[in-house]
Amino acid sequence: MGIRAAGLFLLGILAFISMLVVAPGSEAQTQPSTTAAPGTFQQDPSAHGAGGDPHAAAFAETPFPSATVCATCHPKVFTEWAASNHAYASMSPMFHKFEQAVNDLTSGTMGSFCVRCHQQIGTQMGEPREQPLWERSAIAREGVTCVTCHRVDQQFAKVNGERSVLAGDISQPVYGAGTGADSGLEDVLAQKDFYRVARTAGEEGTRIHLGTIKFEQISRSEFCVSCHQVQVNLGIKLEVVWEQYRASPAAARGVTCQDCHMGRVPGEAKGYERFPIAIVNGRVVGDGQAKHSNHLFFGPGYPIAHPGLFPFNQRAHRWSIQEWLSFNYRAPWGEPGWEDRIARGEEAAPDFPTVWRERADRVAARFIIDQNKGLLEDKRQSRLQVMENGSKVDGPFFADPPQAGRALKFRYRVTNKDDGHNLPSGSLGAQPEIWFNVALTDPDGKRVWESGYVDANGDMADLHSLEVAKGRIAHDDQLFNLQTKFLTTNVKGTDREMYLPVNFDVDQLPMLRPAGQPTSVLNHPPFVRMEGRSLPPLGWRDAKYTIPAEFLRKPGKYILQSRLRSRAEPLYFMKFVGATKDMERAINEWMIDIHPYAVEFDVR
């Protein structure tokens, strides 16, 4: 390897070196890891022979190659993807709870509607919709994996996830933003001995794809439409981000979805990173300064799966899904100090499941979990950046000078700085939450008033709060909430907010039926509407409040504390679909505060 290539190679692995130490007692100890992504095995130069990833040969010969095969030459892309929402699409426990609940509640009339986006390869392979995750193929568990996008050669539009992925082993061409010449593939194939690659299964070397075909749509926003502009079969739209984008200032300026969600700065179109397009058996392809599209796909979503199962980590293949779910990651299992105390008899050992009775196994599992938590922290930080880059809070603005014994009226202005789509966007209805929380502290340091507070479950105190329904806490009459709601007409009463766009009171066996007339006539299906509360691109709304005079009785310094809060799922909805307690806990642990700050003011 030349000096230039060696230097680029060194730069390429510095980002990963801290996570490449093999766990004590793990099978991966025998695997060289100098160029592997976190959690991947460096492959042997022979055709996935001895000393390489034992799964690689099988993955390479399947009609839909795994992302773990792509990781061999694209470690940075794999590491980013491994913690992304795309990788999480099939692994998400909330997706499975939600999808099963909707099918049960609607007499199975949802069919394969959801899985054809979340588990497209598995669906295309004929796997049943209801098949448990642990019985599905490995490629189906990867959700939106590499081939889901890079083996598509047709332009699809509003097809609700019904795209076709080309089948073929690892040697078949991939479709991307450039050609073979742009990607350096032609040089690699021309110097196959230097790069130690194989053209056929019988040759010595690492198997790679033998062609790169330019597919223009993959670089355009239209490529995202198939799964990000979605309506269910009765005509209600669950994803409207494409409609918002196509009418946005960003679209008019030519900014694409990829520019903000795969660029250098989370949520902002400020260019792309530079990185080697591939590192093949330790050899950098090209000059190392290729445009790098970040495959974390910056966004507000986050995972709540067991950290042994997600992010994707090849070392975790040692145990099955069921075995991982029996590992208590919240307990100190596998932590050296705790394990030493157990070994010395200073603490009583818990009744470990059979698979976790050996200390070496627990230590190896803890190492994997700690690796994954590092990736999850990166995910958390990018999520916070996306939300703060895309929003702004100004205020408070007082209507009159604060005075003791008088009600205080004031407002904050919440602005959507994003010029590409609404705040929030994506899945609408019962899911993404953004609300404003403001609290008043009096001169004695006592919190005397608050809006945007949560109940015992962590839910806002609105009409869906179980605690409000039981009369345990007061309804928050001044709540500023950007969450869109479904409104359904039922036999009893007028329209009311519902978790799902289903008229449960109308049918003894609820079914999702298409309307008898075009939904364009009413602009919504009969008896079902959405109450949109999100902010349009560059739009703003004032959060207005009145604090009763009884809470400002004494003169002195008062403090107003404020923050936007963001969470992927409401707790009442999680309970509705049968989520576990650990899922509920995790959803709150991932909640973030956006633009938190405090203002002092005098009351005379």
Chain segment 447-474, per-residue pLDDT in tens:
999 999 999 999 999 999 999 999 999 9
Whether 43 shows a pLDDT value over 60: the answer reads no
Mean pLDDT, range 127-143, rounded to an integer: 93
The confidence score (pLDDT) of residue 45 equals: 31
Q: Model confidence at 505, in pLDDT bands (50, 70, 90)?
A: low
The three-state DSSP-derived secondary structure of 513-571 is CCCCCCHHHHCCCCCEEEECCCECCCCEEEEEEEECHHHCCCCEEEEEEEEEEEECCCH
| 3-class DSSP assignment, residue 280 | strand
Q: Find out whether 367 and 334 touch, Cβ atoms under 8 Å.
A: yes
Least confident of 5-9, 297-301, 337-341: 5-9
Q: Find out whether 355 and 322 touch, Cβ atoms under 8 Å.
A: no
Residue type, position 576, single letter: F
Mean pLDDT, range 348-369, rounded to an integer: 97
Q: Find out whether 52 and 41 touch, Cβ atoms under 8 Å.
A: yes
Whether 144 shows a pLDDT value over 90: the answer reads yes
Question: Cα separations (Å) of 599 from 552, 560, 562?
Answer: 16, 5, 9
Higher pLDDT, 237 or 454: 454
| 3-class DSSP assignment, residue 597 | strand
The confidence score (pLDDT) of residue 233 equals: 61
Higher pLDDT, 489 or 557: 557
Q: Find out whether 197 and 171 touch, Cβ atoms under 8 Å.
A: no
Domain ranges of the chain: 3-292, 390-484+532-603
Residues near 320 by beta carbon (within 8 Å), at least 6 away in sequence = 134
The string of pLDDT tens digits covering residues 395-416 is 999 999 999 999 999 999 999 9
Q: pTM of the predicted model, to two decimals?
A: 0.86
Average pLDDT, the chain: 86
The three-state DSSP-derived secondary structure of 147-213 is HHHHCCCCCCCCCCCCCCCCCCCCCCCEEECCCHHHHCHHHHHHCHHHHCEECCCCCCCEECCCCEE
Q: Model confidence at 526, in pLDDT bands (50, 70, 90)?
A: confident
Whether 393 shows a pLDDT value over 90: the answer reads yes
Whether 14 shows a pLDDT value over 60: the answer reads no
Whether 524 shows a pLDDT value over 70: the answer reads no
The confidence score (pLDDT) of residue 170 equals: 92
Whether 20 shows a pLDDT value over 70: the answer reads no
Whether 42 shows a pLDDT value over 60: the answer reads no
The string of pLDDT tens digits covering residues 177-225 is 888 788 899 999 999 999 999 988 888 999 999 999 999 999 999 999 8
The confidence score (pLDDT) of residue 245 equals: 94
Least confident of 209-218, 225-234, 515-524: 515-524
Adjacent-strand bridge partners of 538: none
Mean pLDDT, range 381-388, rounded to an integer: 96
The confidence score (pLDDT) of residue 28 equals: 33
Q: Find out whether 176 and 277 touch, Cβ atoms under 8 Å.
A: no
Mean pLDDT, range 259-284, rounded to an integer: 95
Q: Model confidence at 506, in pLDDT bands (50, 70, 90)?
A: low
The confidence score (pLDDT) of residue 426 equals: 67
What sign does the CA torsion over 426, 432, 438, 444 have? negative
Q: Model confidence at 513, in pLDDT bands (50, 70, 90)?
A: low
Highest mean pLDDT among 12-16, 209-213, 560-564: 560-564
The confidence score (pLDDT) of residue 483 equals: 92
Highest mean pLDDT among 99-113, 528-542, 548-562: 548-562
Would you state the structure tokens that stand for residue 311, as one six-digit string?
């992010």
Q: Model confidence at 157, in pLDDT bands (50, 70, 90)?
A: confident
The domain made up of 390-484+532-603 has a fold known as Immunoglobulin-like (2.60.40)
Residue 520, class by beta-carbon neighbours within 10 Å (0-12 exposed, 13-18 middle, 19+ buried)?
Answer: exposed
Residue 344, class by beta-carbon neighbours within 10 Å (0-12 exposed, 13-18 middle, 19+ buried)?
Answer: exposed
The confidence score (pLDDT) of residue 373 equals: 96
Least confident of 160-164, 256-260, 466-470, 596-600: 160-164
The confidence score (pLDDT) of residue 459 equals: 95
Whether 312 shows a pLDDT value over 90: the answer reads yes
Higher pLDDT, 392 or 183: 392
The confidence score (pLDDT) of residue 182 equals: 83
The string of pLDDT tens digits covering residues 587-600 is 999 999 999 999 99
Whether 345 shows a pLDDT value over 60: the answer reads yes
